[in-house]
């Protein structure tokens, strides 16, 4: 079990497992009916190329399944950051 309190997570760095700095955690999207965590909202780092990523109002949306750990930093698996096109329909609630 890796239960974490979310309030302390905002502003923490989001780092890809290959070492790339992605940005800063801004929010977490969840389906409160099922409890399922859908995605994290990240303010992209200036050095990060956001091309090809799902964007919303200047923030990157990363599917939660890419999140490997959330402690002092949030680590995400880069190979799972993008939404495969067939997945986009299934995450809409």
Partner 1 sequence: MRIELTNLYGLNVYTDRGVRVGQVNDVTIDVNERKVSGIAIGDVNDDLFDIGGGKGIVIPHRWVVAVGDIVIVRHMSMRVEEEAAA
* Site for partner 1, rule CB under 8 A: 1-7, 10, 27-33, 35-38, 41, 64-65, 67-70, 93
User: Cα(90)–Cα(93) distance, rounded to whole angstroms?
Assistant: 8
CB of 79 to partner 1, least distance (A): 17
Residues 68-90, buried b or exposed e (16+ Cβ, 10 A)? eebeeebbbebebbebeeeeeee
CB of 52 to partner 1, least distance (A): 23
User: Judged by CB, which is closer to partner 1: 32, or 46?
Assistant: 32
User: Judged by CB, which is closer to partner 1: 1, or 46?
Assistant: 1
CB of 2 to partner 1, least distance (A): 5
For 57, the token pair is 């109002």
Three-class SS state of 65: helix
């Amino acid at each position: 079990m890796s239960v974490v309190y979310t309030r302390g997570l905002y502003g923490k760095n989001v780092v890809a497992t290959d070492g790339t700095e992605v940005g800063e955690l801004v929010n977490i999207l969840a389906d409160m009916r099922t409890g399922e965590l859908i995605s994290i909202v990240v303010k992209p780092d200036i050095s990060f190329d956001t091309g090809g990523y799902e964007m919303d109002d200047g923030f990157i949306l990363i599917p939660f399944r890419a999140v490997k750990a959330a402690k002092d930093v949030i680590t995400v698996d880069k190979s799972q950051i993008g939404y495969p096109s067939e997945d986009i329909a299934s995450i809409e609630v």
